[in-house]
Structure 1
Amino acid sequence: MARVELVKVAKSYGKQQVLKPLDLTIQDGSFTVLVGPSGCGKSTLLRLLAGLESVSEGEILLDQKQINNHDPADRDIAMVFQSYALYPHLTVAENMAFHMQVKRVPKAEQQSKVLQAAKVLGIDHLLKRLPKDLSGGQRQRVAMGRALVRSPKVFLFDEPLSNLDAQLRMELRAEIKSVHQQFRTTTVYVTHDQIEAMTLADCIVVMKDGFIVQQGDPLEIYDRPANTFVARFIGSPPMNLFNGVFSERAGLPGVQCDELWFPLPKKWHPGAQNCAGKPVTLGLRPHDISLTDPGTQPAATLRLLEVTGESSLMHIDWCGFPLHVQCAGRVSAHVDTPVYLQARSEGIHLFDAQSGQRLAESDS
């Protein structure tokens, strides 16, 4: 296990800076997930850690020792690629043992480590097969096993599940988490899938345009997104956003969004005082909006209904605001008919209308 530190690390290709100077500490034994849209710099950051790319600025420290100029083979870091990168002419056992053969590890030790890793990953019955005889999920397990037998200080995963179907992704996600819980090796995992990030991570690092936008434990980021980008990116379906202004009704602070008015819970009252007419962006998670009987809010229109069995996802137009509403079970509503909604006030998030940054709330 190891502690990894990035100090003012940046990466440029010619005049194009794809990774802005950033600081990041990856704690010993943690499972850190780098998440963000394509082009945000997360894979570049992983390749810098692996030594596949050289840093343009800054330092990378492994257990307080700089490794900027170390060759990839000398960093004690193992990487699992999206494309598996298996040798097609070698068997599963030979692929897993390849690095140990290069390092001239005794054969008995090679066989012992390969068998142990294969049993952990459930591929011990495949050791004599060639990669062409394996499914995508089995090939990814072999790639994980090849990394596992090295007993590295750090594991790096570069979107390892993106080529697999949904069922296999779920199974391998559980296996990756199980392996981490068993060995507690410091792990850095790159993905654009926020569900993978939420389910795997001890710490999530959200990236955009080469910057770190927010980092913290998964529920902290989900419950208190730093800005509207994080609010929309973390969560599936994404958070609904309403453009509005602060207003009051009968002395109660709220937000007016065209025809809609949302009363604010007490935690937002200090920031809303004396702000009447000031623009603000209000956020609500899909599960914080529910169906109700006709009341004070105008009717909405159901545009599309997706039923998965255990839940229903409604695509709705509410006074010109497109939004998602997620309900447990099944709903008796029909497309292009009026529905009435209510928002759970405690689920309201507020963001600055211009910068998109989260507004401060009272802890009381």
Structure 2
Amino acid sequence: MASVELVKVAKRYGKHSVLSPLDLTIPDGSFTVLVGPSGCGKSTLLRLLAGLDSVSDGDILLDRQLINDRDPADRDIAMVFQSYALYPHLTVAENMAFHMQVIKVPKAERQAKVQQAAKILGIDHLLHRLPKDLSGGQRQRVAMGRAMVRNPKVFLFDEPLSNLDAQLRMELRAEIKSLHQQFRTTTVYVTHDQVEAMTLADQIVVMKDGHIVQQGDPLTIYDHPANTFVARFIGSPPMNLLDGVLGLVAGQPGVICGELAFPLPTVWWAAARSAEGKQVKVGLRPHAFRLIENSRLIENSSLTGSGKQPPATLRLLEVAGESSLLHITWGGFAMHVQFQGRVECSQDRPLWLEANHQMIHLFDAQTGDRLSEAV
């Protein structure tokens, strides 16, 4: 195992900057996930770690040793690619043992390591097959096994599950996490799938346009997104963002969003009073709502606390068996709300909703940055 540190690392192709100078520490034994939209620089960063690309500026340290000029083979880092990158003319066993053969590991030791890794991954019965005779999930297991037998200091995963169907993604995601918990090898994992990021990571690094936007443990990033980009990117379905202004709602500090009005949690009161009239973005996650069967109950709602809100109208209903996702228009805002179970609703009937004001997020309307609860 090893720690990895990036110090002012940047990457440019000609005049085009792919990675702006950034600092990142990946602790020894951690599972760090780089997440962001396509083109944000996460795969480029992984290639710099692997030595497949050279840095334009900055230093990469492995166990406090500078590795900028080391060849990929000398970095003691193993990478699992999105495309599997298996040799089509070699068997599973030969693919897994290839690197050990190149560095002249004794045959008996090679075979023992291949058997051990294959058994852990559940592919020990496939060792004599060629890649063309394997499913996508089996090929990905072979690629993982090829990395495992090297016993590297660091594992790198470049979107390894993106080519698989949903069931296989779930199964292999659990296997990858289980392997990390078993061996505690420092792991850097690149994905654009925020569900993978939330379920796998000890540390999430959210990237955008070559910059690190926010980093931290998954729940901290989910509960306290640094800005509207992170708020929308982390969470599925994404957070609803409404234009609002700070003011008084039922005599208490709150936020007014057109026809909608929400009181604020007490932790926001001092900040809201000092910035009354400030334009803000109001964030509410899809699960922060409740359906009111009787519209008159909304008059005394403990969640909205603001008197009667206008009804919402349904635009589209998506039922996923265990949950229902409603695409609605509420107070002039297009939103999506999610409920457990199945919801009886239709486009010709008004929907009466209440929002849990304890779950409100506030962001600056101009910069998109999260507002501080403190004055």
Using structure 1 for the length normalisation, give the TM-score: 0.98
Amino acid at match of 1:329: G
Q: Corresponding residue for 2:211? A: 211
Gap change, CA 1:178 and 1:306, over 3 Å in 2: same
1:300 matches 2:307: no
Q: Corresponding residue for 1:312? A: 324
**Distance in 1 separating the partners of 2:335 and 2:289:** 10
Residue aligned with 1:232, SS: helix
* Aligned residue runs from structure 1 range 1-364, under 5 A: 1-292=1-292, 293-294=294-295, 295=298, 296-362=308-374
**Contact 1:305–1:335, Cα closer than 8 Å, also in 2:** no
Deviations 1:29-53 (A, max 9, x none): 0000000000000000000000000
**Contact 1:54–1:68, Cα closer than 8 Å, also in 2:** yes
Amino acid at match of 1:158: D
Residue aligned with 1:168, SS: helix
**Distance in 2 separating the partners of 1:158 and 1:134:** 20
**Contact 1:33–1:191, Cα closer than 8 Å, also in 2:** yes
**RMSD (CA atoms):** 1.0
1:336 deviates by 4.2
Amino acid at match of 2:76: D
Stretches of structure 1 lacking an aligned partner (at least 5 in a row): none
Gap change, CA 1:336 and 1:17, over 3 Å in 2: farther
**Distance in 2 separating the partners of 1:18 and 1:232:** 23
Mean alpha-carbon deviation: is it higher for 294-303 or for 2-11? Answer: 294-303
Q: Corresponding residue for 2:305? A: none
Mean alpha-carbon deviation: is it higher for 325-334 or for 40-49? Answer: 325-334
1:338 deviates by 1.0
Residue aligned with 1:85, SS: coil
Q: Point out 4+ residue stretches in structure 1 off by more than 3 angstroms.
A: none
**Distance in 2 separating the partners of 1:291 and 1:257:** 19
1:276 deviates by 2.3
Deviations 1:95-130 (A, max 9, x none): 000000000000010000000000110000000000
**Distance in 1 separating the partners of 2:26 and 2:348:** 50
1:308 deviates by 1.2
Residue aligned with 2:287, SS: helix
1:362 deviates by 4.8
Residue aligned with 1:338, SS: coil
Deviations 1:237-293 (A, max 9, x none): 000011010111343011110010011010111110132221011100100012113
**Distance in 1 separating the partners of 2:327 and 2:156:** 38
**Contact 2:11–2:19, Cα closer than 8 Å, also in 1:** yes
Amino acid at match of 2:241: L
**Distance in 2 separating the partners of 1:249 and 1:37:** 37
**Distance in 1 separating the partners of 2:191 and 2:225:** 19
Using structure 2 for the length normalisation, give the TM-score: 0.96
Residue aligned with 2:48, SS: helix
